[in-house]
Amino acid sequence: MFSYFNPVDLRFGENAVSNVDFTLYGKKAFIVTGRSGSAKKNNAIKDLLSVLDAKGISHEFFSEVEENPSFETVDRGAELFKAKHCDFAVGIGGGSPMDVAKAISAGAKMGKKVADLYAIKDSISCYPVIEITTTSGTGSEVTQYSVLTSPDDKKLGLRTNKLFPTVAIVDPRYTLTMPADVTISTGLDALSQLVESVISKISTPLTDVIAVKGIELIKMSLPEVVKKASSLEHRSNVAMAATFSGLTISQTGTTIVHALGYPITSHLGIRHGLANMLTLCQIVKNAQRFDPERVKIATAPFGGANGLCEFIDSVYPKPKLKLSEKDAEIFAREIDLKAGQVLNTPGNYDFGFVKEIYRSL
Ligand code: NAP
């Protein structure tokens, strides 16, 4: 027996925003974007405002989301949402603004600080959330997760089915403006999520089909968009792969690869997708000893695990981190070895194993 639950109304393709009936969600939108202004440059804001204006829907901007967004940013956004009497949230950007839009919609509706939402996850209710993705990586537009950074610098995933966005808009044209470093880190994040989904102990026949298709698209098109940023055909393929990665992890979750990546991002500032790449190969090769069939399916598009690792190296030559013994110990202590991410990974993972992985970086 297996199940599949993902209630997001997904619109994929050029000008997808014009296919959404925003009047269903209210009269005032709360638009959440990042700080660097990418949502303006890639025209996502212009397209959205032309649709909202035509329907007489007013809006308020919250353009303060940083990378690896903090609890504090969410709480400020939720206060503003309430003060301006908004009806629904629109997140525009990569995983950071999209995750913040989800958390703001919950914080504003519940009248609670985001830190308190972690304790009452499944009793949360939210205002409607429309996500417009402009990176091709996290798949957050179709997931029930919001990954936020706590005041003590830990990346914590808030997970509940109540956080599924109402609508996801994926218009690959918005990704054309991504610089090479963002293209690479987000594209590899999608690859990581797809591979992790296949090797997961809770993968299903349906997530396998979606994930393997996504892996094939990344293999075909990620190197092409790194070479030629303006190729809409290949941008569309990577965007589709990223959304597929969100659809699959919304069922299987991720694995210990993501758990290991969070301390690397919070302590060393290495982007999420790149942080995952530092350990993906080691984990896949370890998982191969415990469940060779899963790894065979995940790596078949590359001709096997070695082929996957060569592909990653060709897109992202890994830096040497030179972590001290003490750093490795601190990072390893942050891994919750009882979390689903760890338990669903084929293999046995204890403190010694995790610390050894960090030492090897
Ligand atoms: P991001 O942090 O949202 O954005 C990275 C940078 O890329 C920002 O400077 C952003 O600018 C810029 N950018 C975004 N779109 C652009 C475009 N089209 N052209 C030019 N620049 C653009 O990156 P991300 O990798 O997509 O998201 C990472 C976050 O998502 C992490 O916090 C991670 O933990 C989380 N995540 C969530 C899930 C989930 O399911 N919820 C899954 C995986 C990861 P702006 O400042 O203008 O936005």
pLDDT tens, 273-317? 999 999 999 999 999 999 999 999 999 999 999 999 999 999 998
Tell me what the mean pLDDT of segment 72-96 comes to: 98
Residue 50 has pLDDT above 90, yes or no: yes
Q: What is the largest CA-CA distance in the chain?
A: 59
By mean pLDDT, which of 53-57, 68-72, 323-327 is the weakest?
323-327
**Residue 319, number of CB atoms within 10 A of its CB:** 11
Instruction: Give, using CA atoms, the residue closest to atom 23 of ligand 1.
Output: 94
Query: What is the pTM assigned to this prediction?
Result: 0.97
- What integer is the mean pLDDT of 186-214? 98
Which residues 6+ apart lie within 8 Å of 141 measured at CB? 8, 10, 98, 131, 132, 133, 165, 168, 169, 170, 243, 246
Q: Is the CB of 143 under 6 A from ligand 1?
A: yes
Measure 269 CA to ligand 1 centroid, in angstroms. Answer: 14
238 within 8 A of 225, measured Cβ to Cβ: yes
For atom 3 of ligand 1, the residue with the nearest CA is 94
pLDDT at 318: 85
Query: Is the C-beta atom of 68 inside 6 A of ligand 1?
Result: yes
Q: pLDDT, tens digit, for every residue of 242-260?
A: 999 999 999 999 999 999 9
How high is the pLDDT of residue 15? 97
Q: How far apart are CA 225 and CA 332, in angstroms?
A: 35
Q: Is the pLDDT of residue 320 over 90?
A: no
Q: What is the pLDDT of residue 121?
A: 87
In this prediction, residues 323-340 reach a mean pLDDT of 95
Mutate to test the pocket of ligand 1, among 90, 136, 140 (most ligand atoms within 8 A of CB): 140
**Mean pLDDT, residues 62-84 taken together:** 98
Nearest CA owner, ligand 1 atom 45 = 34
The rounded Å distance from CA 308 to ligand 1 centre is 24
Q: Are strands 88-93 and 167-170 parallel, antiparallel or unpaired?
A: unpaired
Structure tokens at 355: 């610390």
**Residue 178 Cβ contacting ligand 1 at under 6 Å:** yes
Q: What separation in Å is there between the alpha carbon of 352 and the centre of ligand 1?
A: 32
Predicted confidence (pLDDT) at residue 16 exceeds the cutoff of 90: yes
The Cα–Cα gap between 129 and 327 comes to 39
Ligand 1 touching residue 96 (CB < 6 A): yes
Residue 180 confidence class, pLDDT cut points 50, 70, 90: very high
Q: Kindly report, residue by residue over 149-164, the tens digit of the pLDDT.
A: 999 988 999 999 999 9
